[in-house]
Structure 1
C-alpha cells in the first residue's frame, strides 16, 4: 500500500515539474492591419507641405510693390502644397538677416529678388545648407541658383532700335542708368550701347545715374536739362523714372525731346502715352507678374521636376500704337 502511495506522489511531482517548465503560449496574432507600420523616413509624411520663403525689397515704387503682391498671390494659390513666409527689406544687410531667419524657419527653397550688391555670400551659405534658390530678375554669379527674368539686355537693344528709328542716327541721347540695381541696369545699358554702336555709331550718348523712382527721375532730370540745352531722346530704363522725366520736361517747357523710353509696365505710364503727341512715350514691358513663374520653379524643383536653370521671358514694346492692349484695371501697378 505504501508503495502505491509513493508511486502516485512521484507521478504527481513529475507532472508538476513538466507543467512549470512548459513555455508561455505566444499571443494570438492580431488581425491584419491593426498594428501601425513603421514609417518610411524616405517618404514625406502625408499632408506635408514644402516650405518656401520669399524675399523682396521694401516698396520703393509700384513695380516692386507689384512683385511682392504677385509673389504672395501665387503662394496663396499654392497653399494646398506649400507653406510660405514673405519678407521685405531695405538693404542687403536686412535681406541677409531675413534670409537667415528663413533658414531657421526651415525653408526648403527661397525665391529672392536681391536688388543690392553683396548678396552672394549669404546666398552661397543657403545653397551650402541644401536650400534651393530661385532669383527673380537679378543675376548673381553663383552655381546652382535658378533664375526667372525678363530679357534685360534685349530691353536695351529694343530701346536703341526704337530711339534711332524715331530721331535718327546722329541724335543726342541721355542714358539714365541705375548702378544700385546691379545686373538689371548693367544689362539694359549694355544692350543699348552695343546696339547703338552697331546701327548708329555717330549717336551722341550722355550717361547719368539716377534711381527707379519718379521722384529721382524728376529731380535728376531737372538738373540734366539745365546742363544740356539739346537732347533728342532719353533712354530711361524704368516707367517710374520716366514719369518723373516727363514731369521735368513739362515743367522746363522743353520741346526738343522726342522720345522717352521706360520699362516695367506701369498702368499710369501706359495712359500717358496718347496724351502727348510731341513725345513718343515707350515702355519695354517687364511685367512683375513674372515672379509667379519664380514661385512655380521653386515648387517644381522641390518636387523633383526638371526645370531650366534660367528662364528668360521675351521683351514686348508698348507705345501709343498698342497701349490699349495692355491696360488692366485690376493691376496693382
Structure 2
C-alpha cells in the first residue's frame, strides 16, 4: 500500500512539473523604440559582416525633409546584407543630441546626420572624438573630421539662368523669388543666377521679391506680384513647393505672358505637373533628397576602409517636361 501511494505521489509531481513548464511564457523581444525604424536595426549586435549605421534627420517640416529620411532608410534596406541601421527624427538640437548618444550606446560605427539645428557642432565633434564616422547631409558645420554630401546651391542658380535664356532669349522681364529666411541656400542660388545672367544676358531686366519655401506663400506672394507687373516673361523660383503656388497664381489670374517657371528640389507633385503646361516651361533644378543615399554609401565606404573625399558635391540636374518621367517615384513622400 505504501509502495502504491509513493508511485501515485511521484506521478502527481511529474505532472505538476510538466504543467509548470508549459505555462512559462516564451521570452519576449523588447519593443522597438518608437523613434527608430521598425526593422532589423533593433538588434543589439550586428549580424556577422554587417556595419551599424545610425540615421539622424529632422522631423517633417517640409516634404523635402520627409523625403530625406525616406531615402536614407530606403538605401539602408537596399544594403541589408551589409548594414544594420537605426533611424531617428528630431525637432531640435537637444533631441538630436540625445539620439546621437543613443546611437553611441547602440554601438553605431557611423552616423549619417542632417543637422538642421544650430548647436550640433559640439556633440558631433564629441562623437568623432569617440571614434564614430560622421557624414553630414547637406549641412556644413564647423567640426573637424566630419564628412559631407551636398548638392550645389550656386550651380542651381547658374543652370536656372541658362535655362531661362535658352527658352526666352537674352531680353525680357524676369522675376526672382528669393527666400531670405533660408540663409545661404537662397543667397547662393540667387548669386549663381544673377552672376550668370549678367554674363550671358546683361540686357535682361531682373526684379526681386521675397517669399518662402511653401506653396501657400508662393500663391499669395505671386498673386500680388502679378498685379504689380503687367509683363513677366519668366520666373526664377528656387523651390518646387513655391513654384506650385506660382503656377496656381498664374492660372487663377489667367496670365499668358509667362513662358518659364523654374523650381528646385525634387517634388514628385511638381514633376507630375510639368507635362500639363504646354505654354509654360516648368523646370526644376534637381536638389534631390535622394542624395542622402550617397551619404549612406560614403559612411559604408569609410567603414570598409576605402579612400573617400571629405566633401562630395553632387552636380545639378535639370528636370522639365522632356525628362520628368525618369524622376518619378510613387513611394516618395515628397
Is the shorter-chain TM-score for this pair beyond 0.5, marking a shared fold?
yes
- Corresponding residue number in structure 1 for 2:303: 302
Alpha-carbon contact 1:264-1:283 (below 8 Å) kept: yes
Residue deviations 1:111-143, cap 9 Å, x none? Answer: 112335554344333333332221112333443
Instruction: Give the drift of 1:279.
Output: 1.4
Residue deviations 1:183-236, cap 9 Å, x none? Answer: 433332222122112112333333333333322322332333344444322211
SS in 2 for 1:124: helix
Alpha-carbon contact 2:259-2:280 (below 8 Å) kept: yes
- Corresponding residue number in structure 1 for 2:83: 82
Provide TM-score, normalisation by structure 1: 0.76
- 2:333 and 2:113 mapped to 1: Cα distance? 20
- Corresponding residue number in structure 2 for 1:127: 128
Instruction: Give the drift of 1:49.
Output: 4.6
Residues 87 and 185 of structure 1: CA distance in aligned 2, closer, same or farther (over 3 Å):
farther
Instruction: Give the drift of 1:88.
Output: 1.8
After TM superposition, list the pairs within 5 Å mapping 1:51-200 onto structure 2.
51-200=52-201
After TM superposition, list the pairs within 5 Å mapping 1:203-222 onto structure 2.
203-222=204-223
Greater Cα shift, 220-229 or 308-317: 220-229
Residues 105 and 209 of structure 1: CA distance in aligned 2, closer, same or farther (over 3 Å):
farther
Provide TM-score, normalisation by structure 2: 0.76
- 1:81 and 1:122 mapped to 2: Cα distance? 27
Residue deviations 1:266-324, cap 9 Å, x none? Answer: 23222222222221101122332221111111122122221121222222212223333
Alpha-carbon contact 1:138-1:184 (below 8 Å) kept: no
SS in 2 for 1:173: strand
Residues 235 and 119 of structure 1: CA distance in aligned 2, closer, same or farther (over 3 Å):
farther
SS in 1 for 2:269: helix
- 2:155 and 2:294 mapped to 1: Cα distance? 20
5+ residue gaps, structure 1, are: 1-43
Q: Which has the larger radius of gyration?
A: 1
SS in 1 for 2:155: helix
- 1:46 and 1:119 mapped to 2: Cα distance? 31
Equivalenced residue count is 290
- Corresponding residue number in structure 1 for 2:321: 320
- 2:181 and 2:119 mapped to 1: Cα distance? 11
Structure 1 residue 275 corresponds to structure 2 residue 307 = no
Instruction: Give the drift of 1:96.
Output: 4.0
